[in-house]
């Protein structure tokens, strides 16, 4: 065997080992979801006796879904989560896109560079550090907790730094200044230039920010649990936790609640997944 053949064989072995490791990791990560998926269509007795079987002894059943939806008030908490997630995501995209445009195009201003540096620095502050001051100030002093609007604004405030960082890289690397200068010559204002020229070219980054933030807002439990105390404005994670505490012995209902909670954001991810890589790498290379 020649040296080239040995090198080729070694590369094939490394590739095969890497594929096996990736498959094992995939199985490890997907296993909990598969367990939920196969057990949600069984009754309590079948789940307890044989949770790994595809179909229980009593057959296929869908009774867990309507019962779980009724007991966790699914449509109400779904509406709350949808309103909060949608509004916070849209606000985050609009505010961060406009802020990054101003920062990039006015980079010589000390105020812009200072603001951007503060945003980057704020990304390393753990949320747990702010929990007690958050509740003490906004709840104890101002009394504005237990409101969807408060939660929307808090979600926006905590996520706008990361989104601005991503939009900053995309605008700086992928939006030529000449396009804006041509639009200004044609009579566009700065406002029109941003919305008609710059923002449409940020579609991959917008989709990436949307899916990252929407997943974070939809699945967030800690911040809503601090802000919301009225059951009428509970989000899905809080309602799921309360539901689990009440019906933890009925695993079928718990599985149905978990699947209902993850399904909407999973559908959104499937629709936007093709933009994820393009958006993340949009500002990585100067083009």
User: Is 78 in contact with 264 (CB distance < 8 Å)?
Assistant: yes
Residues 6+ apart with CB under 8 A from 226: 131, 134, 135, 145
CA atoms within 13 A on the CB side of 159: 28
Query: What is the mean pLDDT of the segment spanning 211-233?
Result: 89
Structure tokens at 271: 């629709």
Distance between CA atoms of 183 and 181, rounded to whole angstroms? Answer: 5
* Band of pLDDT at residue 287, cut at 50, 70 and 90: very low
Cα dihedral value 126, 132, 138, 140, nearest 10: 180
Both tokens of residue 35? 């367990």
pLDDT digits (tens, 9 = 90+) for 75-105: 899 999 999 999 999 999 999 999 999 999 8
Among 153, 146, 132, which Cα is nearest to 217's? Answer: 153
Task: Write down the pTM of the prediction.
Answer: 0.81
C-alpha closest to that of 59 among 71, 45, 77, 69: 45
Per-residue pLDDT tens digits for 164-189: 999 998 898 888 888 888 888 888 88
% pLDDT > 70, the chain: 94
Backbone angles phi, psi at 57, to 5 degrees: -65, -30
Predicted pLDDT at 93: 96
């Amino acid at each position: 065997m020649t040296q080239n053949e040995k090198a080729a064989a070694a590369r094939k072995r490394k590739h095969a080992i890497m594929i096996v490791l990736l498959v094992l990791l995939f199985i490890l990560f997907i296993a909990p979801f598969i367990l939920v998926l196969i057990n949600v269509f069984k009754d309590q007795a079948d789940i307890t006796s044989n949770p790994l079987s595809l179909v229980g002894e009593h057959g296929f059943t869908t009774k867990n879904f309507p019962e779980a939806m009724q007991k966790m008030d699914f449509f109400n908490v779904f509406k709350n989560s949808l309103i909060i997630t949608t509004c916070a995501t849209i606000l985050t995209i609009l505010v961060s896109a406009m802020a990054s445009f101003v920062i990039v195009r006015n980079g010589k201003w000390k105020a812009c560079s200072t603001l951007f540096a503060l945003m980057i620095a704020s990304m390393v502050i753990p949320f747990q550090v702010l929990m007690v001051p958050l509740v003490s100030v906004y709840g104890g002093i101002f009394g504005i907790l237990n409101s969807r609007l408060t939660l929307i604004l808090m979600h926006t405030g905590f996520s706008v730094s990361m989104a601005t960082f991503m939009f900053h890289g995309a605008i700086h690397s992928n939006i030529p200044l000449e396009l804006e200068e041509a639009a200004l010559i044609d009579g566009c204002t700065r406002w029109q230039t941003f919305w008609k020229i710059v923002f449409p070219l940020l579609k991959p980054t917008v989709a990436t920010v949307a899916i990252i933030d929407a997943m974070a807002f939809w699945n967030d439990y800690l911040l809503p649990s601090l802000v919301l105390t009225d059951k009428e404005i509970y989000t899905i994670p809080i309602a799921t936790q309360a539901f689990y505490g009440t019906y933890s012995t009925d695993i079928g209902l718990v599985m149905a609640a978990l699947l209902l909670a993850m399904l909407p954001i999973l559908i959104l991810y499937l629709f936007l997944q093709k933009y994820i890589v393009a958006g993340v790498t949009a500002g990585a290379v100067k083009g």
